[in-house]
Structure 1
Amino acid sequence: MIPTAPADPSTHPLDNAVWAALAGPHAPLAQRVGSAARYPADVYAYAALADPADPAAWADLHTLAGPGTTVRIKGVESVPPGWEVVGGGRGVQLIDTALRAEPAPEAVRLGPDDVPDMLDLVARTRPGPFLRRTVELGTYLGIRHRGRLVAMAGERLRPPGWTEISAVCTDPEHRGRGLATRLVRAVAAGIRERGDTPLLHASATNIQAIRLYEAIGFTLRRRTRILQVRTPGTDRAAETL
């Protein structure tokens, strides 16, 4: 069993949500070296540090990822010498404060057999990262029209006490019918049933989605930075020889 890090009472789990999930409920999925961890590349292409201000955590991430490797990381404003920022963006984090959660009778549970349809819908709508094994992170619900998957939403990060609603998307030909809202409410109902609170992440530039989420009961908690970084090209183990 992968050891989990003790909770730091001075920080909120959502301030470093990817780490909190990998060190907590998603520990069985974590690939970890010391104070660095990441999801398998075909599950969710993000890594995390227990403390982004700790140089040892960055050294652990270098060991975990390997030299000259590109990784994505959230909540980090700067990188140590030798690391290169090769991309990134800004995001927002919203939490459920007044959402009306309720089942959606027309929704169906999606699983591994539905992944081809899910990937096809993601390719048409581009809601954000969704990979071949992302479905393993939690419950995914979908709505089909004449057999074709036209809307879905599901669970991704699970920091202790919280669950992220993600992959919210609707086929362009079926928008304006409230399908995404119904699925968000339905996924949230399941999250609340197990005692967690729903949260969401969105691109800071996706103003339309942010307004929708706020209108149905989510509140902006914080703004985040997302970095795509390249690890130093020299193997740290070789440096000590």
Structure 2
Amino acid sequence: MSRSPQVSLDYPIWTALTTRQAHLGQGDALARRYHPDVAPFAALASETPAAYEALHQLLLPGEQVALLSQDSVSPIDALQTTRVGDLHQMLATQHKSGSVDDQGVIALSHADAKDMLDLVQKTKPGPFAKRTHEMGNYIGIRDQGRLIAMAGERMCIDGYVEISAVCVDDDWRGRGLAGRLVTILRRQIEQRGQTPFLHVLGGNRLAIGLYERLGFEIRRTFQLTRIGHAEPGSAVASNS
């Protein structure tokens, strides 16, 4: 029996790091992670002691990465685990017709990296590092030179592209900028013959509602867990 073409979405980090974004990461056949200045995500080929040991070797003391899993992560020798919460994966399923308002929307590049980081620090849309913009195309809106809104592409696997870093400066919220940017990115991704998807924390009802109105549906829910070196003498697992 052939596997569903969506099976790669069940393991988005591992699939991206072993295919189209391998150049942005490091690791081996057991465990892989993005370079720390790209993204804080890691993945395992399978949840085995050997794979967790391989992940341990990829981490510096005091460093943490985020993993997606179907179930809560069990205690792991030499690693501290902290459950962050439920993470919904949403897939674009409903095609929206009509024109797209792209007035004032610009492509962002390495030259905009500092402004992108500044906006992320103000708005806290999720993980974003100094090289995250290398993961895909980013677009934004400026007002009198100031970057006030942006969104971009993060994980990229065959047939699918993740939309991420959707954020708007507080002074400009409530004007539909986030929806405009997501819609533009969606059209661009679909024009390349790919399907957009995204991830959102289960408690972020405002974002979930926005994405549902834009034609995204929850496909599945992961457990999001932070993992790092265990402190000497500390417990190796936490459910906090």
TM-score, L = length of structure 1: 0.86
1:89-104 equivalences under 5 Å are: 89-100=85-96, 102=100, 104=102
Partner of 1:28: 23
Q: Residues 67 and 195 of structure 1: is their aligned pair in 2 closer, same or farther, counting only changes over 3 Å?
A: same
CA contact (8 A) 2:59 2:228 kept: no
Aligned residues: 226
1:222 maps to which of 201, 220, 223: 220
Task: Judge which range, 218-227 or 66-75, deviates more.
Answer: 66-75
Q: Structure 2 CA distance, aligned partners of 1:68 and 1:170?
A: 31
After TM superposition, the structure 1 = structure 2 runs for residues 83-232 of structure 1, keeping only pairs within 5 Å, are: 83-100=79-96, 102=100, 104-231=102-229
Which whole-Å CA distance do the structure 2 matches of 1:153 and 1:57 have between them?
A: 33
In structure 1, the residue matched to 2:14 is: 19
Q: In the alignment, which residue of structure 2 is the partner of 1:72?
A: 66
> Per-residue CA shift, 1:59-85, capped at 9, x if unaligned?
221222256753321125223531321
Equivalent AA in structure 2 for residue 57 of structure 1: A
| Distance of aligned partners of 1:85 and 1:148 in 2 relative to their CA distance in 1, 3 Å threshold | same
Question: Greater shift after overlay, 29-38 or 59-68?
Answer: 59-68
Distance across 1 between alignment mates of 2:7 and 2:112 = 35
CA distance in 1, matches of 2:76, 2:173: 46
Quickly say closer, same or farther: Cα 1:180–1:99, change in 2 above 3 A. farther
Flag structure 1 segments of 5+ consecutive residues without an equivalent.
1-7, 235-241
RMSD of aligned alpha carbons = 2.2
% same residue: 42
Higher strand share: 2
In structure 1, C-alpha distance between the alignment counterparts of 2:63 and 2:128, rounded to whole Å: 21
